[in-house]
Amino acid sequence: MVIWCIMKFRSVEERLGNLITDDPSVIETSLEEYGDLVHPDSTSVIHRIEAVDKCFSHDTVEEIIDALETEASKTNDPWCNSTLRRLNECSPLSLKVSLRSIRDGRLQTLDQCLVREYRMSLQGMAQQDLREGVRARLVDKDLAPKWNPPRLGLVTEGMVDQYFSLLDGERDLELPIQQREAFT
């Protein structure tokens, strides 16, 4: 299966590499021949798209968790329960940083997204929560991280903002934008 996927990927890559246009309709038509009809099994999240939309369309992590709890209590859906359990295991600060990053990324160019992710990565490596998560899951294996702050309500906007700024003394990501040329 993996070899088949790699071969198919190479074919797609070759096909796109031979195009001399950036017209989306031509690109889409070229890709259509490589698409396969997929039938996801009953556990796939695709079958829960309405619940996902309903729960994750909220503006804050707290609202998302509340919506998931409501959905789980109404439906007793294993996916909702599993998602809630996973969210409750995560760093409250990381949840809020991730939500902002996803929401900001919807309105940014690829270059802006790469710079944002670079800054978040640098900040994440410098913060305690990453080390604490590694300690709890991989080193001590106690699965009991001590997040800072320990609850969503204690995470401030300033804490979240910090993840989107540069570390002191660190240079920003420099992308080779001038080397790119659009197709004509």
pLDDT of 33 > 90? The answer is no
The share of the chain scoring above pLDDT 70, in percent, equals: 92
Which amino acid is located at 27 in the chain? I
- Per-residue confidence (pLDDT) for residue 184, from 0 to 100: 46
Q: What is the DSSP letter of 42?
A: T
DSSP letter for 135, please.
I
pLDDT 10s digits, 140-172: 999 999 999 999 999 999 999 999 998 888 899
Q: Which amino acid type is present at position 71? A: E
Q: 135 falls in which pLDDT band (50, 70, 90)?
A: very high
Tell me: pLDDT of 12 over 70: yes
pLDDT average, residue stretch 36-57: 87
Question: What's the number of CA atoms in the CB half-sphere (13 Å) around residue 120?
Answer: 19
pTM for the predicted model, two decimal places: 0.76
Average pLDDT over the chain reads 89
Which SS3 state, helix, strand or coil, does residue 105 take?
A: helix
119, containing H or E segment: helix 110-126
Measured CA distances, 43 to 38, 56, 144, 158 (Å): 14, 19, 29, 39
pLDDT for residue 180 is more than 80: no
